[in-house]
């Protein structure tokens, strides 16, 4: 019954999305303003129903209801509860239902919280949100029903991919999806503003917290995903430029650009058309990412061609939504006034540079990700585009971008002088030069990109705090602190990336118990290999001690896990975190002579990569909360003033 | 019978086995003694695709075939070949698919030109904006 209830809730939510769309469009076109009163409640009801549908699916997974096909193919009754729950979105149908649920909740959130947008723009926004929802409801109900029953009911399920049985997977996809789909709000806002010709500072101020919110989740999701890949896949890498990773990076790049251009629109009423464009592009990238990951097109163009129903469905949705929004943009861009003007050397000028460079990086990642697919589709030739291409093509652009990031907040709005800027930024520039000089002198292993990255990080770390110079710290607004924290986070992450790629030490050994290996400042000793048993796995566990140069001893236990239900093996790396880096030990197979493969890395300051990511997200959160508090305060002041007048 | 054959193989291969644990591809899990050559090999292995996996380099893969390829890369580098020679040899054998660093050729030049075109476009867009302001 639960499965049927879930399906009914999903159908009802889809019907409400239709109703929401109809109420909005009829109200708008026929001038029936009384319809608008119903729009908010319908949007909220739709959000509740689709959430109920998703929760019912979670319940089916918790109960291990093997009469449901999706549970059979992705779960097994012998599994910890947390992985039963996370198994709900560890598969195609479940993750699409989560996607749609977040879309519905986003629409409901607009209905509940949005108080500053003009009524007609708000109604159009909710119409756009409903229109997007309708397409994805149709996709779920027609092409990927998560509640399908299985006959006959099997004894037990086939289990979840062991790699995905990890706390990282429990948290990473929902976080990322909230970010992905949260961008739909910016998309709908842009559509609403374009149709009603309501593009200006007030609109930008209303949109900004939503963009910030989505961006924070996206940042956290990508950071978590990177760390999950780092420790769970057991190869010590944190970014592979894999198409799936790129699919999450592209919306982030667009959202980052949007977040900065929306500030120009809110503060200076400039970059109107550009902000609209970025809002459309950001969510388009989310949808393209979903298409890439969900259609199977990434495994091979041919895999997509063999089972094209789902892929073609999403592709059609993409064409409708992206094409429609772009067409609307093309129609309206002529009527969107340019907005206020500024000189090249000004805060706006630096934000334009930020936008253009982020867009260039986005373009490179987009082309690099899709190019192999296009080549294979047209010529049948298989090529690979990976880290060498992406690092070379995006690295230099990213370095220019972060250099501008350090200078931008120190520039005045509208117009400034280059000389004055140089004056303000002299200390960071000196620090960067000094760091570069020292690194060239004392290191030998660094690539040009890491060398420049690390030197720039030194300057940026200081420059990010420069906006506080000679300011009253208590009266500095919260969103300024948010910006400072986020920019500082970029410097921190940059240090981690440059250090990891330049100073990592690797040792591969075949060891018998009693052997000792020296890696950098560590003495790593293998003591024994012992069998272990977990709830749904068995493992071989290595007892290893690691002694740091100062004499401290640590015990670590890398494992090799066997999952009988899935007949697969995963290696659980042992990570030892110190303030100055991580020791990373992986247990491999044994050879004929009873020696065990050990892969040992010392990765100096690698944790700063994710620490930086978290700081960036925190900065975004601070900015969002600061903006919202200020908006509430201003509204109260206005109401108070109106009462007295 | 199979056991006997393995035993026989082990006995005859004894001197080799004494040096390395994995006779088929000795350098699959073993680094080169020369740190410079190992660094060269490692950098190349990071750029070679594991053909049996989904989106993994041979340096990061546990697949047996990746191990064989790692061993070949290390042996060839140790024998004095440059990383580019080893890469070309692998591309000849397995096709362009194997290298994450796409060669510049008739098929891939648009890919390599794209970043430059995008940057020129960005500069042009920025200049267009600012020049118009000055005219006014």
Summarize pLDDT for A37-64 with one digit per residue, the tens.
889 999 999 999 999 999 999 999 999 8
Could you tell me if A472 lies within 8 Å of chain B, comparing CB atoms? no
What pLDDT was estimated at residue A542? 92
Arithmetic mean of pLDDT, A573-578: 91
List all residues 6 or more positions away from A645 whose beta carbon is below 8 Å from its beta carbon. none
Give the pLDDT band (50/70/90) at residue A369: very high
Contact B48, B100 (CB under 8 A): yes
Q: What share of chain A is helix, strand, coil (3-state, %, to 5)?
A: 65, 10, 20
What pLDDT was estimated at residue A307? 64
List pLDDT tens digits, range A541-552.
999 999 998 889
Contact B40, B85 (CB under 8 A): no
Contact B56, B45 (CB under 8 A): no
Count of CA atoms in the C-beta half-sphere (13 A) of A354:
30
Q: What is the DSSP string of B55-100?
A: S-BGGG---HHHHHHHHHHHHHHHTT--HHHHHHHHHHHH-GGGBS
The rounded distance, in Å, linking the Cα atoms of A187 and A619 is 23
Phi, psi of B38, rounded to the nearest 5 degrees? -60, -40
**Higher pLDDT, residue A256 or A152:** A256
pTM of the model: 0.92
Domain range summary for chain B, segments of one domain joined by +: 2-103, 104-136
List all residues 6 or more positions away from A577 whose beta carbon is below 8 Å from its beta carbon. A607
Arithmetic mean of pLDDT, A377-392: 91
Of B21, B61, B114, the CB nearest to A367: B114
The rounded distance, in Å, linking the Cα atoms of B126 and B119 is 11
Contact A432, A425 (CB under 8 A): no
Contact A342, A271 (CB under 8 A): no
Gap from A591 CA to chain B (nearest CA, Å): 6
Q: Which two tokens mark A319? A: 């064409």
Q: Which of B21, B49, B93, B124 to mutate to test the interface with A (most CBs of A within 10 A)?
A: B21
The rounded distance, in Å, linking the Cα atoms of A485 and A622 is 9
- The β-bridge partners of A578 are A581
Residues of B in contact with A385 (CB under 8 A): 100, 102, 111
Q: Which of residues 277-336 of A touch B (CB under 8 A)?
A: 299
Q: Which residue of B has its CA nearest to A444?
A: B36
Residues of B in contact with A508 (CB under 8 A): 29-31
Q: What angle do CA A479, A636, A478 make, to 5 degrees?
A: 10
Helix axis angle for A243-268 and A347-379, nearest 10°, is: 150
Q: What angle do CA A534, A536, A542 make, to 5 degrees?
A: 40
Give the pLDDT band (50/70/90) at residue A306: low
Going through A88-197 in order, the beta strands assigned E by DSSP cover: none
Q: Which two tokens mark A261? A: 């251009």
10-residue block means of pLDDT along chain B (136 residues)? 46 42 72 89 92 84 87 92 93 92 91 94 81 52
Location of structure tokens 């065990």: A596
Contact A145, A217 (CB under 8 A): no
What's the residue count for chain A?
Answer: 645
Location of structure tokens 């350090």: A406
CB atoms under 10 Å from CB of B46, counted, come to 18
Arithmetic mean of pLDDT, A571-594: 88
Helix axis angle for A92-113 and A119-138, nearest 10°, is: 170
Contact A318, A288 (CB under 8 A): yes
Instruction: Name which of A173, A386, A93 is nearest B108 in CA terms.
Output: A386
The percentage of residues in chain A with a pLDDT greater than 70, rounded to a whole number, is 98
What ipTM is given for this predicted complex?
Answer: 0.84
Contact A267, A413 (CB under 8 A): yes
Arithmetic mean of pLDDT, A567-592: 88
Could you tell me if A162 lies within 8 Å of chain B, comparing CB atoms? no
Q: Which two tokens mark A3? A: 């499965």
Secondary element (H or E) of residue A510: strand A505-511
List pLDDT tens digits, range A199-255.
889 999 999 999 999 999 999 999 998 998 898 877 788 898 988 889 999 999 999
Phi, psi of A515, rounded to the nearest 5 degrees? -75, 150
Q: Which two tokens mark A140? A: 């779920």
List pLDDT tens digits, range A446-464.
889 999 999 999 999 999 9
User: What number does CATH give the domain B2-103?
Assistant: 1.10.8.640
Arithmetic mean of pLDDT, A396-424: 91
List pLDDT tens digits, range A163-211.
777 787 778 889 999 999 999 999 999 999 999 988 889 999 999 999 9
What pLDDT was estimated at residue A229? 86
Residues of A in contact with B63 (CB under 8 A): none
Q: Which of B103, B115, B116, B136 to mutate to test the interface with A (most CBs of A within 10 A)?
A: B115
Could you tell me if A395 lies within 8 Å of chain B, comparing CB atoms? no
Could you tell me if A389 lies within 8 Å of chain B, comparing CB atoms? yes
What pLDDT was estimated at residue A154? 85
The rounded distance, in Å, linking the Cα atoms of A272 and A333 is 9
List pLDDT tens digits, range A345-368.
888 889 999 999 999 999 999 999
Instruction: Name which of B100, B111, B112, B11 is nearest B51 in CA terms.
Output: B100
3-state secondary structure A146-176: CCCECCCCCCCCCCCCHHHCCHHHHHHHHHH
Q: Which two tokens mark A523? A: 């003495």
């Amino acid at each position: 019954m639960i499965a049927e209830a879930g399906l009914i809730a999903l159908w009802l939510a889809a019907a409400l999305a239709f109703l929401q769309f109809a109420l909005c469009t009829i109200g708008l076109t026929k001038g029936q303003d009384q319809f608008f009163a119903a729009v908010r409640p319908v949007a909220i009801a739709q959000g509740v129903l689709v959430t109920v549908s998703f929760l019912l699916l979670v319940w089916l997974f918790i109960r291990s209801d093997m009469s449901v096909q999706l549970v059979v193919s992705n779960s097994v009754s012998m599994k910890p509860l947390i992985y039963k729950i996370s198994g709900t979105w560890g598969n195609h149908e479940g993750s699409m239902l989560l996607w749609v649920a977040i879309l519905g909740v986003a629409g409901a959130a607009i209905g509940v919280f949005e108080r500053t947008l003009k009524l007609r723009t708000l109604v159009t926004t909710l119409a756009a949100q409903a229109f997007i929802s309708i397409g994805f409801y149709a996709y779920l109900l027609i092409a990927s029903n998560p509640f399908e029953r299985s006959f006959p009911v099997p004894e037990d399920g086939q289990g979840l991919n062991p790699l995905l049985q990890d706390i990282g997977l429990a948290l990473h996809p929902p976080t990322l999806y909230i970010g992905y789909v949260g961008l739909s709000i910016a998309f709908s806002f842009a559509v609403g503003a374009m149709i009603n010709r309501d593009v200006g500072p007030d609109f930008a101020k209303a949109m900004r917290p939503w963009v910030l919110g989505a961006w924070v989740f996206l940042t956290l999701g990508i950071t978590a995903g990177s760390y999950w890949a780092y420790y769970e896949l057991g190869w010590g890498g944190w970014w592979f430029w894999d198409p799936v990773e790129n699919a999450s990076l592209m919306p982030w790049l667009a959202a980052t650009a949007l977040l900065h251009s929306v500030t120009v629109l809110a503060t200076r009423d400039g970059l109107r058309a550009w902000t609209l464009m970025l809002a459309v592009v950001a969510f388009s990238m989310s949808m393209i990412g979903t298409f890439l990951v969900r259609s199977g097109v990434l495994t091979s163009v041919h895999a997509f061609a063999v089972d094209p129903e789902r892929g073609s469905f999403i592709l059609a949705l993409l064409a409708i939504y992206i094409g429609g929004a772009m067409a609307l943009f093309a129609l309206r861009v002529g009527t969107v006034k340019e907005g206020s003007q500024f000189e090249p050397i000004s805060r706006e000028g630096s934000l334009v540079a930020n936008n253009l460079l982020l867009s260039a990086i986005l373009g490179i990642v987009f082309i690099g990700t899709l190019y192999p697919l296009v080549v294979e589709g047209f010529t049948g030739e298989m090529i690979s585009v990976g880290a060498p291409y992406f690092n070379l093509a995006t690295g230099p652009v990213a370095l220019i971008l972060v250099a501008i990031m350090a200078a931008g907040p120190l520039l005045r709005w509208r117009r400034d002088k280059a000389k004055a800027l140089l004056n303000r930024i002299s200390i960071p520039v000196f620090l960067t030069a000094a760091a570069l000089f020292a690194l060239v002198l004392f290191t030998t292993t660094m690539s040009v990109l890491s060398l420049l990255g690390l030197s720039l990080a030194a300057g940026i770390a200081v420059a990010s705090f420069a906006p506080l110079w000679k300011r009253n710290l208590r009266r500095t607004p919260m969103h300024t602190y948010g910006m400072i924290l986020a920019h500082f986070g970029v410097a921190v992450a940059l240090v981690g990336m440059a250090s990891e790629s330049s100073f990592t030490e690797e040792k591969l050994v075949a060891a018998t118990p009693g052997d000792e290996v020296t890696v950098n400042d560590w003495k790593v000793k293998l003591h024994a290999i012992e069998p272990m048993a977990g709830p749904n796995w068995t493992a071989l566990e290595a007892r290893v001690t690691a002694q740091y140069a100062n004499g401290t001893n640590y015990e670590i236990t890398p494992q090799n896990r066997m999952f009988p239900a899935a007949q697969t093996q995963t290696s659980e790396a042992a990570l030892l975190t110190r303030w100055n880096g991580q020791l990373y030990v992986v247990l491999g197979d044994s050879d004929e002579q009873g020696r065990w493969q050990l892969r040992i890395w010392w990765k100096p300051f690698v944790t700063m990569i994710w620490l930086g990511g978290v700081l960036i997200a925190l900065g975004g959160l601070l900015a969002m909360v600061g903006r919202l508090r200020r908006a509430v305060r201003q509204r109260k002041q206005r109401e108070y003033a109106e009462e007295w007048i | 019978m199979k056991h006997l054959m393995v035993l026989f193989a082990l006995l005859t291969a004894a001197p080799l086995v004494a040096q390395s644990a994995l006779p088929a591809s000795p350098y699959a899990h073993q680094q080169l003694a020369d740190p410079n050559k190992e660094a060269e090999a490692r950098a190349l292995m990071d750029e070679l695709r594991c053909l049996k996996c989904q989106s993994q380099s041979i340096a990061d893969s546990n697949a047996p075939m990746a191990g064989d390829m790692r061993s070949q890369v290390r042996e060839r580098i140790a024998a004095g070949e440059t990383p580019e020679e080893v890469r070309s040899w692998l591309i000849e054998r397995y096709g362009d698919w194997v290298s994450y660093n796409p060669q510049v050729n008739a098929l891939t030049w648009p890919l390599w030109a794209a970043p430059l075109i995008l940057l020129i476009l960005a500069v042009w867009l920025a200049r267009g904006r600012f020049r118009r302001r000055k005219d006014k």
